[in-house]
Every structure is written in C-alpha cells, then in structure tokens.
Amino acid sequence: MKKLLSVFTILTLLIGMTACAKAGDSSDATENYPSLYSLTENYGFKSGAVINYGNLSDNQLLELFKHHFDSLTAANEMKAYSLLDQKASAAATDGMPRMNFTQADAIVSFAAENGIKIRGHVLVWDAYMTDWFFREGYLPSGSYADAETLRARLKSYIEQVITHFEQNFPGVVYCWDVVNEAVADDASERVPNDPRHLRAKRSGSDNIFYKLMGADYVETAFLYARDTVDALGADIKLFYNDYNAFYPEKRAAILKLAESINSFDEGRKLCDGIGMQGYIGGYGTQNGCLDAQLISYIKDAIKQYSGNGYEVQLTEMAVRTYQYDDATAQKHAQYYADLYNVFKTANSGDSKPLTAVCIWGFLDCNSLPSSHYSFKLNSPYCGLFTEDYAVKPSFKAVIKELEAK
C-alpha cells in the first residue's frame, strides 16, 4: 500500500518552483513585449503557467504572470493530499472528508482578482495520496474501509471540492483534471489484459484507488465530477491528464480509457478532453532533449485526440535542456518556435481542438542541485525566462512565431 506522504516530500514539492525564482526585475518582460496570452488567443488557445502558495509573496513574479498568462495551475495546493484535513475528517459526524482550502483559496483569489482562469489540478491521483483517507475513522493505521465506504468518501470529496471553488469563485475554474496518471507505461505495473493499461502499481507500490475501489475507479470519479458540474450548471470541462500522452502506445491506451469513461453511464459524455503533460526530453539527462521526433508525436497526438472528439491541452510543459551554451540556447529557441508552429497549425481551421498550453517550466532552475526534484522534472534551462525573470531567446522566438502570419 501507499506510504504516508512524508513532510519532507511535501515541502520538496511545494518549495520546488519557489526555489527556481530568485530576486530579480520582470519589467523588461512585462513592458517591452506583448503579452503571450494576447497572441495565443488569436489562435484559440490559452497560455498558462504554474505557481504555488509561496509565489504569492513575489511581486515581480506575479507581475510577470499577470502580463503573460491567462490560465493558472496550482502546483500542489489543489491536490487531495494538500486539501484533506485529517483531524477535521475524523471529527466529522457524517463520516465524510473535510478540507482546508486556505492556501488553494489564496491562489484562486489572485487569479480571480486579475481575470485569470484556473485549471483545477487534480481531483484523483494515486501518487502521494494520503493513506489515512482510505482507513476506517480516517486513522493513520488500522483497517482499510470497504469499497462502498470509499466510494461515498470519494463522491463527497469531489462534490465538495468542485462546489467550493465554483460557489466561492464563480466561473474561475474552467476545467478540472479529474484523474491523473492512471495509465501505466511499464507492462509490469498494468492490470493484466486491460486495453486501457490501467495502473495497478506505481514504482512497486499499489495504486490504492485501484486496490481498494476496483478497476472502474477512473470512470466512477468522472461520473461523480460530471454529476457535480451538471448540478451546479457550471461551464467546467473535465479532463483526463497523463504524462507521455503523446507517445503512440500510451496514446492508444488513453483513448481506450477515455472511450471506457464515456460509455460508463449509458453513453453520456463524462470526459471532455485529454491533458498531455508536456515534459519533453530526457529526465535528468541531456540525452533525448530537443528531439524533433517528439514534436511530431505531439502534432500527431493533437490530431488523433481531437479526431476522437476530445479537447486537447498541453498541461505541464517543460522543454527540457540540461546544458546551456550559445548553440544550445539557439537550438532551444528554435525548438520552442517549432512547437508553437504546431500549436498554431492545429488550430488553423474552423475547429480549435487545442484549448490551452500551460507551461510548468517557464522559469529556469539552474541554481538548484542536480539531485533536486524540480531540477530533474523541468530541467535547469527549460524556461522562457531566467531565474531572475530576464527574457531568454526562447521567449523571443515564441513571440516572433506567434506574430508571424
């Protein structure tokens, strides 16, 4: 079973992007260049990026964000392991979970006050999930609750979270990642003989949702989310989100999963779109970075997902490079321009299947040690901007590509 998420791990995840941002001046990026989102909206898609609670005290970063992005994803604060309140859940007389929305509300408030929309990320994710959510009495140890009890808890959790943000910040959350990373790459971690490649394990540990709730936990989560959105009368799109979603084999499995979701409730469409996490290139190594083949995969994936009736978003994009000399800087810039050419072309017709490109690695992280999670995840020189908010050649290349007819 999943182990409890350690305090160290939570702090590492929350601090990651704050550590990438250093004292600096963003005025050049905000005063001398058109806003990124004003250019991408001409092609029908939002420009997004990520911030965390700690970033709310960084005025230069916030000015940069407000000028260039019209979509915001909270790094971790809207995930279940951040929201769930163990003490309050254990004390609840109805047996349903309780949340602490303080940090998430602060981020959503910033967005609402500045006309920025929110990607809700994420309702159901097995990684780092709080183990006590699944135990009787919400205790840190002891017996696990039965599947019926857990489904009731999950239903209540999804209803409460979606409803909280819609009622307190009407219309600000424009989509939710309902389930994240439920498709396994490694055959040894998949449910046997399942064309969806449903994840049974992650790094050797059980997928606790699958283990305790069953093989339809993904479909069930989407049903709960759709029922909640419909009951609210809200304009919120529901997404399935995953990494490596542009690789052909995984793309095929995700389409099988999306088909299963949308046939779960008598053909009612529960899933509106596919979120492709855009970590592009090798993880922790320069090998595989800035590979033109990956741009072709992304182009094909947008076409195939949209051809099956789904909106598409690049949800966590980081154009990885672990070295940065003049030649690599220009290669990184051209790679970014080529990506945005693909995005423009995808939306060149009457239909606009690509609805958002959200960049998680929009700042460099080169002051972090190579062992740091964010160093490996995003890469040290992934950004459109340096750690102190200076414009990079990659940003200029993107602007030039978007302004070109």
**What are the residues facing 276 on neighbouring strands?**
242, 314
In this structure, the strands spanning 173-180 and 201-202 are: unpaired
Identify the helix (H) or strand (E) that includes residue 73: strand 71-74
Q: Give the separation between CA 365 and CA 376, rounded to whole angstroms.
A: 10
C-alpha to C-alpha distance for 397 and 378, rounded to whole angstroms: 20
Tell me the CA distances in angstroms from 402 to 32, 332, 349, 354, one per residue in order: 16, 16, 16, 15
First to last CA, the chain: 54
DSSP string, 233-286: T---EEEEEETTTTSHHHHHHHHHHHHHHHTTTTT-----EEEE--EES-SSSS
Q: Which residues are catalytic?
A: 181, 316
Paired tokens of 360: 């998680």
Scored b (16 or more CB within 10 A) or e, 120-156 reads bbbbbbbbbbbbbbbbeebeeeeeebeeeebbebbbb
Backbone phi, psi, residue 325, to 5°: -110, 180
Rounded CA separation 42/45 (Å): 8
